[in-house]
Amino acid sequence: MTEGKIYKKIILFALPIFLGQLFQQLYNVIDSLVVGNELGKEALAAVSSSGNLIFLLVGFINGVFVGAGVVIGKYIGAGDKDRVHTAVHTTVAFGLLSGIMLTVLGMIITPVLLRLMRTPENVLPESIKYFRWYFAGSVGNVMYNTFMGIFQARGDGKHPLYYLIISSIINVVLDILFVRYLRMGVEGAAIATAISHIFSAILSLMKLMNTDDVHRVVLKDIKLDAPMLREVLATGLPTGVQNSVIALANVLVQSNINVFGDNAMAGCGAYSKLEGFAFLPVTSFSVSLTTFTSQNLGAKQYDRVRKGSVFGVISGVALAELIGFAFVALAPQLVALFNKTPEVVAFGAEQARIEAWFYCLLSLSHCMAGILRGAGKTKVPMFIMLICWCAIRITYITITVSLVPDIRVIFWAYPLTWFLSSICFVVYYLKADWIHNFDRQDEKRRLKQQQV
């Protein structure tokens, strides 16, 4: 990522991530398609409304892995092989411990969280079954994300893509087998997902153990290095906290949607699966910009960071908006793929028509956050998103829903807060002059060395 044409490096790195996320989103959608068409709208509501709650528990850990990727990428860019080795094995050890803790925590607190979300009684039993089985296999999910972060820090987006494609195929086959033919219900969908996660983690680990590159994993070296763990946490904790608090805010939003009944849950849940496709360019360019920025800052190529940032943001925003246009045009037909109940389709299509026009703002915020994380400035996106996407969003919904009990009020919370966060990011990027701080710091170090 530190040499060659900037646009080519970013696109070639972003493309495998895009394709990988596409396959991951497809098998998430197939989960809901199979469940919605085979088991009905109550089961669809139980499965499709799961995203925010899952991200509440998984988002914190994945945020820390973003920090680990920044640290590893920085040392790769600087050519420090010893620190890369230490960072990789500390990350793997932390991932294993986190996966075990998440499994226990998820299975214990699932019923409590679902009741706090005001999940309707006719949906609650199926939701509890789905979540408990999902978290029973969360070690595989966490470890795959751990290994994916290591691959991406090295600039390798191809191998995670290969393993995700294989995992997606396994998940689809098992979904159909467990739900349609073995009649295992929502538990079958969750078990299929857990097995596919475990399989992708095993494939990733085998590749990392057998590579001759700097990011090779050696089983006997997997341990926590306290100084490196502190560095990883210092970089990753702000993103982890941000993910968890945003997810908590979205759980509260979901609890307000749940009040409107199982039709609203199913329709909005179907839309959330479709919205995942809008996140494809957002995620791919955001991750690419984080890796690109961290490696080039490690190599002290500051002008390259500036040019790459502009290209990545424009590309991510344009692609997200194109997807938004398509969603607005095809919303009823797309939601009906999950469940053809007219009320379900109406809720999902209405949410799409309100939110999809503004995917450009969602992408802008995430891409800018990716750049700042790559620069090690993880607290900036954390504070911006916590204020805009959490505090303001929840305050807005709490006040307006009590005055206007209309679900469309909830839908408007997203584009309004995306707009606010985009303004904050652009102002910070243009006014803070943060890139030049690295130039000045290098100049100070150079003058100090000359004096010595």
415-440: b or e for each residue (b if 16 or more CB lie within 10 Å)?
bebbbbbbebbeebbeeeeebeeeee
DSSP 137: T
Six-digit token string for 295: 């490696």
DSSP reduced 3-state for 123: coil
Domain positions in the chain: 6-436
Query: Can you give the pLDDT at residue 440?
Result: 60
223-237, 362-376, 393-407, 409-423: which has the highest mean pLDDT? 409-423
Six-digit token string for 406: 């209309």
CA distances, 117 to each of 111, 181, 296 (Å):
10, 32, 43
User: Are 374 and 398 within 8 A, CB to CB?
Assistant: no
Name which residue leads in pLDDT, 6 or 101.
101
Query: Can you give the pLDDT at residue 18?
Result: 78
Name which residue leads in pLDDT, 440 or 223.
223
pLDDT at position 55 over 60: yes
| Residue in 157, 154, 153, 155 with CA at minimum distance from that of residue 165 | 157
Query: Can you give the pLDDT at residue 411?
Result: 92
Cα–Cα distance for residue pair 53/107, rounded to 1 Å = 12
CA distances, 247 to each of 117, 383, 443 (Å):
13, 15, 41
SS (H, E, C) 56-106: HHHHHHHHHHHHHHHHHHHHHHHCCHHHHHHHHHHHHHHHHHHHHHHHHHH
Given pLDDT bands bounded at 50, 70 and 90, which one contains residue 392? very high
Cα–Cα distance for residue pair 343/349, rounded to 1 Å = 10
Q: What is the pLDDT of residues 279-312, one digit of tens each?
A: 777 878 888 888 888 888 877 787 888 888 888 8
pLDDT at position 243 over 90: no
Six-digit token string for 101: 């803790």
Name which residue leads in pLDDT, 445 or 341.
341
User: Are 97 and 142 within 8 A, CB to CB?
Assistant: no
Given pLDDT bands bounded at 50, 70 and 90, which one contains residue 436? low
pLDDT at position 1 over 70: no
Query: Can you give the pLDDT at residue 364?
Result: 93
Q: What is the pLDDT of residues 203-215, one digit of tens each?
A: 999 999 998 888 8
Mean pLDDT of 147-174: 84
Query: Can you give the pLDDT at residue 37?
Result: 74
Cα–Cα distance for residue pair 319/242, rounded to 1 Å = 25
Cα–Cα distance for residue pair 370/188, rounded to 1 Å = 36
Name which residue leads in pLDDT, 134 or 412.
412
Mean pLDDT of 70-91: 88
Count of CB atoms situated within 10 Å of the CB of 13: 24
Q: Is the dihedral of CA 77, 78, 83, 85 positive or negative?
A: positive
Residue written as token pair 């997902």: 193
Q: Is-above-0.75 flag for pTM?
A: no
Query: Can you give the pLDDT at residue 92?
Result: 94
SS (H, E, C) 420-448: HHHHHHHHHHHHCCHHHHHHHHHHHHHHH
Q: What is the pLDDT of residues 90-141, one digit of tens each?
A: 999 999 998 898 888 888 888 887 787 777 777 778 878 888 888 888 888 8
Name which residue leads in pLDDT, 342 or 448.
342
Count of CB atoms situated within 10 Å of the CB of 104: 11
Q: Is the dihedral of CA 314, 325, 41, 193 positive or negative?
A: negative
Give the percent of the chain with pLDDT over 70. 90
Q: What is the H or E stretch that residue 338 is in?
A: none
Phi-psi region of 376 (alpha: psi -120 to 50; beta: other; left: phi over 0): left
Query: Can you give the pLDDT at residue 62?
Result: 74
Query: Can you give the pLDDT at residue 85?
Result: 93
DSSP reduced 3-state for 2: coil
∠ Cα 318 324 328 (to 5°): 150
Query: Can you give the pLDDT at residue 11?
Result: 83
Mean pLDDT computed over every residue of the chain: 83
Kindly report which listed range (173-177, 255-259, 278-282, 293-297) carries the lowest average pLDDT score: 278-282
pLDDT at position 233 over 80: yes
Q: What is the H or E stretch that residue 404 is in?
A: none
Query: Can you give the pLDDT at residue 102?
Result: 85
Diameter of the chain measured on Cα atoms: 76
| Residue in 104, 124, 101, 98 with CA at minimum distance from that of residue 112 | 124
Give the percent of the chain with pLDDT over 90. 21
User: Are 65 and 95 within 8 A, CB to CB?
Assistant: yes
Number of H helices, E strands in the chain: 17, 0
pLDDT at position 49 over 60: no
Q: What is the pLDDT of residues 310-330, one digit of tens each?
A: 888 898 899 889 989 988 899
Q: SS3 breakdown of the chain: % helix, strand, coil, rounded to 5?
A: 85, 0, 15
Given pLDDT bands bounded at 50, 70 and 90, which one contains residue 372? confident
Query: Can you give the pLDDT at residue 350?
Result: 92
Query: Can you give the pLDDT at residue 52?
Result: 62
Given pLDDT bands bounded at 50, 70 and 90, which one contains residue 202? very high
pLDDT at position 377 over 60: yes
Cα–Cα distance for residue pair 358/348, rounded to 1 Å = 16
Given pLDDT bands bounded at 50, 70 and 90, which one contains residue 253? confident
Given pLDDT bands bounded at 50, 70 and 90, which one contains residue 416? very high
Six-digit token string for 126: 């199926």
DSSP 49: T
pLDDT at position 247 over 80: no
Given pLDDT bands bounded at 50, 70 and 90, which one contains residue 354? very high
| Residue in 226, 194, 197 with CA at minimum distance from that of residue 93 | 226
Q: Which residues contact 451 (CB under 8 A, 6 or more apart)?
A: none
Residue written as token pair 């805010």: 249
